[in-house]
Amino acid sequence: MIFNLTLLLCDNMLVSSTTLAAEIFNFAQTAARANRENNKEINIRWLSPDGKAVKTSAGFELHPTHSLGNLFDSDLVHIPAMWRNPRPVVDKYHAYIPWLQEQHRKNSNFTAVGTGVCFLAEAGLLDDKPATTHWHYFDQLQRRYPRILLEREQFTTQAGNIYCAASVNAMAELIMHQVERIFGRIIARQAQRNFFHEIRNLTESANLEGERQGKHGDEAIAQAQIWTQDNLARPLNIPKLAEQFGMTTRTFNRRFKAATGQTPIDYLTHVRMTFACDLLKNTDLSILEVAGFSGFKDATWFSSRFKYWSGDTPKAYRQTVRAKLFD
């Protein structure tokens, strides 16, 4: 049985918002074949309106395999996020709109990432339906498409066969949902383990992001938490972070503590150390590499902080958890 996946391409797209989805599906198909779980075959089409290459936000080109001139149906249409203002791209690629409407009439499933939801909104497919997008474009999306039921505190939404994700991390959850729907839970769990660098502990619940933010009601602090988690390797400057979210440092610290029960610094330390634990447990990265991915530039300082936080050195922790894992 063939499952047809169509990946929309456009200029200024965030590459990872499409290639990660393709990689996960390819892995799932390979794992299913190896495990003889089912006979589903994934047919991936890379689509541009005219069949010409697109220039991504990273500066290189992606070449499609199909154009809108090819007649085909899709079981799942995946729409990437765009870098910065999506309006010029949506206008340039307006030829996608009637095609999306046609696919919707044929009961295709849709996943859209971040600003990619603008294509669905432009097609009228989100009228009177819940949706989300990158937090920076909440107001712009609401002004442009007032009929959307914008879920500002949700990072994934579902309206029938239409799924929206606020970020690439949240997108991975939606793709895992599709993998499980197509290949089953066992294959989905295998895919999660294989891609855990890109998907940080996703599959515990369908409302992952609410769990990540502690399910509090302070939207600005929730968005600050997301930014922190998505930028672990960057130096954290509390005054600049507060300014980014429209607060004084004092107000930011107070609201963060009230919402999460932790100071911003304590929260960052917890997130970094939890991520480091995952890397130590599930990869063969060196201690220096683990430190770097977790936001520490110096391995010695990282080891010292890790031991203070966990009670073990990174090396000892890795040996302990792996011994338990393979017992």
Q: Do 223 and 292 fall into the same domain?
A: yes
**In terms of C-beta distances under 8 Å and separation of at least 24 residues, what long-range contacts does 298-302 make, across chains too?**
302/276
Distance CA 204, CA 37 (A): 22
Distance CA 206, CA 156 (A): 9
Which phi and psi angles does 57 have, rounded to 5°? -65, -20
Contact indicator for 125, 152 with CB cutoff of 8 Å: no
Give the angle subtended at the CA of 83 by the CAs of 81 and 87, to the nearest 5°.
85
**In terms of C-beta distances under 8 Å and separation of at least 24 residues, what long-range contacts does 102-106 make, across chains too?**
103/6, 103/73, 103/74, 103/77, 106/73
Is 202 within the bounds of a domain? no
Q: Do 122 and 268 fall into the same domain?
A: no
Contact indicator for 19, 89 with CB cutoff of 8 Å: no
What's the pLDDT at 326?
A: 45
Q: Do 256 and 166 fall into the same domain?
A: no
Judging by beta carbons within 10 Å of its beta carbon (0-12, 13-18, 19+), is residue 78 exposed, middle or buried?
A: buried
Q: Do 274 and 241 fall into the same domain?
A: yes
Nearest in space to 293 (alpha carbons), one of 214, 233, 208:
233
Number of domains in the chain: 2
Distance CA 165, CA 175 (A): 10
Domain boundary (194, 225, 254) is at: 194
Q: Do 267 and 164 fall into the same domain?
A: no
Confidence of residue 304 (pLDDT cuts 50, 70, 90): very high
Q: What residues make up the domain containing 236?
A: 213-325
Residue 325 pLDDT > 70: no
Q: Do 165 and 242 fall into the same domain?
A: no
Distance CA 196, CA 281 (A): 11
Domain of 241: which CATH number? 1.10.10.60
Going from the C-alpha of 257 to that of each of 196, 251, 295, the distances in angstroms are 29, 10, 22
Q: What does the pLDDT look like over 39-61, one tens digit per residue?
A: 778 999 999 999 999 999 989 99
pTM of the predicted model as reported, rounded to 2 decimal places: 0.63
Domain boundary (167, 194, 221) is at: 194
Q: Do 110 and 230 fall into the same domain?
A: no
What's the pLDDT at 207?
A: 36
Domain of 11: which CATH number? 3.40.50.880
Q: Do 43 and 176 fall into the same domain?
A: yes
Strand-pair category, 54-55 with 61-62: antiparallel
Q: What does the pLDDT look like over 188-215, one tens digit per residue?
A: 878 877 776 555 443 333 333 344 445 5
Q: Do 164 and 66 fall into the same domain?
A: yes
Confidence of residue 126 (pLDDT cuts 50, 70, 90): very high
Is 207 within the bounds of a domain? no
Tokens of 34: 């190896």
